[in-house]
Amino acid sequence: MHLKTVVLASAIITVTTGIETHGGYQYEARFSPEATPEAKNIKDPYETTAATIANARLREQVEATGIARQCLAESADAEPAGLYALKDCIAADNKRNFFTLLAEDIEESKAFWTQVIQESTTDRTKWVPARAVSDYPHLFLQYPYTKCYFNGNLTATQFAAWTLSQNADEANLNANPEHYYKETVLDSTGAQRSEIFEGWGGVLSTFGMKRTNFTVPAFAPPEYGTVDTPEAWDIGPSFPLPLQRVGAKVLTSEDGQTFGALHIAVRDFTASEGSTGESGIEIYSAVWYPPWDQASEADQAEFVNNYLADEAHHMVVEVINLTQKAHEDCKSGLCVIPSSI
C-alpha cells in the first residue's frame, strides 16, 4: 500500500510533454484514435515502478527457493536496467526458472481469470479493451496508439518482419519488467503460436501484477465481422490488413479457457499526419477482455478503469523498447518478411 502511494505520487510529478524521446527518436502515445497525445511520459515512470515491484518479488522468491541464488549478487538496483540484469542472470541459469519461482503467482492469476470468465458474458461484442484513463471524466474506449517518429529509419513492414523473427523473443525479457518467458513458432501459413508468461498490473491498480501463464495459439491477420473478431474491433483501412494480427489469449491449464484477445497492427504515417514534422510508424495494440459484468460494481470499476489502464501503459513500454531493438537489428538487413508466408 505504502509503495503504491509513493508510486502514484511520483507518476503525477513526472508531467512533462506529449513527446518522449528514447534512443534519439521521439514517441507519442494516445489512448484513442482522436484523443490528443498523452501529456505525460508513459515509459519511464511506468517501467521504473513495475521494475521495483518485479525486483522485490523475484528477490523474495530466489531467497525462499534458493533457485539461481548466485543472481542475488548481480544487482541490487531496482531501476529497469538492474532488474533486467537480474532476470537475464536467472534465465541464463535456466530460462524456465521463472515458472518455479513464480508458481504461486501463476496459480493466483489463474484463479482470478477463471472467476472473471465465469462472471462475464461470452459475447465478444460486449468485451472491453485494455485502456487508460487520461483526462476524460467518463468511460471512453481507449487502447494505445503509439507514434514512433523513425523518419524512415524503421518502416512498418520492417517492424512486422522483425516481430516474426527469433530476435523478438530474445528481446522479450528486457522489453517489460513483468515479462518472464516467450517462445514463438511460425506455422507454414505464417500464423504465430506463442507461449507467454508475464504480468501487467499493480502499478495503477490495486489488483496486483497478475502474472499469467498463457498461450496465443494462432496469431494471424483477422477477418472482421465474425464471432471471434467482431466488426467493432475493425480499426479501418489506414492499418493494412497484412500488418495486423489478432489471436485469442488462452490460460495454460487443463481446460484452456480463453480470457482475452490480442490485436496488434502497424502502419507507416507521413510527416503531415504527425505532430513533430517527421514521419514514422504507428503501432496499435489492444487486448479485449471479458467485461466482468457480473462482478460487484467496485470490482468491475477497478478492473475496467485501473487494471486495464495498467495493461495499456505496459503495452506502451513494450512498443517503445521493441521498436528501439528492432531499429538496431534491422540495420543489419534482418527485417524481411519470410518468403514462405
Ligand X SMILES: *[C@@H]1O[C@H](CO)[C@@H](O)[C@H](O)[C@H]1NC(C)=O
> Least distance to ligand X from the beta carbon of 88, Å?
10
Which position among 32, 153, 157, 306 is part of the footprint of ligand X (CB under 6 A)?
A: 153
What contacts 328, CB < 8 A, 6 or more positions away?
Answer: none
Contact 231, 239 (CB under 8 A): no
Which position among 142, 163, 174, 300 is part of the footprint of ligand X (CB under 6 A)?
A: 174
Q: At what angle are helices 156-163 and 308-330 packed, to 10 degrees?
A: 100
The reply to whether 195 sits near ligand X by the rule CB under 6 A is yes
Hey, which residues does 264 pair with through a beta bridge? 245, 285
Which position among 103, 191, 232, 334 is part of the footprint of ligand X (CB under 6 A)?
A: 103
> Least distance to ligand X from the beta carbon of 48, Å?
9
Which position among 86, 106, 160, 243 is part of the footprint of ligand X (CB under 6 A)?
A: 106
> Least distance to ligand X from the beta carbon of 95, Å?
11
> Least distance to ligand X from the beta carbon of 146, Å?
14
Question: For residues 133 and 317, which CB has a smaller minimum distance to ligand X in the complex?
Answer: 317
Question: For residues 108 and 195, which CB has a smaller minimum distance to ligand X in the complex?
Answer: 195
Segment interacting with ligand X, rule: CB under 6 A, options 31-39, 146-154, 257-265, 296-304: 146-154
> Least distance to ligand X from the beta carbon of 293, Å?
28
The reply to whether 321 sits near ligand X by the rule CB under 6 A is yes
Q: Report the run of H or E that residue 247 belongs to, with start and end.
A: strand 244-251
Indicate if the alpha-carbon torsion angle 295, 298, 300, 303 is positive or negative: negative
> Least distance to ligand X from the beta carbon of 324, Å?
5
> Least distance to ligand X from the beta carbon of 52, Å?
13
Q: At what angle are helices 43-65 and 2-13 packed, to 10 degrees?
A: 160
Taking the alpha carbons at both ends of the chain, their separation in whole angstroms is 49
Which position among 99, 140, 207, 269 is part of the footprint of ligand X (CB under 6 A)?
A: 99
The reply to whether 164 sits near ligand X by the rule CB under 6 A is no
The reply to whether 161 sits near ligand X by the rule CB under 6 A is no
Phi, psi of 160, rounded to the nearest 5 degrees: -60, -40
Compose the 203-222 pattern: x for residues touching ligand X by CB under 6 A, - for all others.
Answer: ----------x---------
Establish how many alpha carbons lie within 13 A of residue 244's alpha carbon, considering only the half-sphere containing its beta carbon.
18
Distance (Å, whole) CA 299 – CA 106: 21
What contacts 53, CB < 8 A, 6 or more positions away?
Answer: 3, 177, 202, 203, 209
Distance (Å, whole) CA 233 – CA 239: 12
Q: What is the DSSP letter of 210?
A: -
Contact 184, 168 (CB under 8 A): yes
The reply to whether 324 sits near ligand X by the rule CB under 6 A is yes
What contacts 9, CB < 8 A, 6 or more positions away?
Answer: none
> Least distance to ligand X from the beta carbon of 121, Å?
27
For the record, the C-alpha cell of 337 comes out as: 518478411
Q: What is the DSSP letter of 76?
A: -
Tell me the Cα Rg of the chain.
19
Which position among 81, 111, 185, 341 is part of the footprint of ligand X (CB under 6 A)?
A: 81
The reply to whether 276 sits near ligand X by the rule CB under 6 A is no
Which position among 27, 101, 325, 335 is part of the footprint of ligand X (CB under 6 A)?
A: 325
> Least distance to ligand X from the beta carbon of 294, Å?
26
Contact positions toward ligand X, by CB under 6 A?
A: 24-25, 80-81, 84, 99, 103, 106, 151-153, 171, 174-175, 195, 197, 213, 252, 321, 324-325
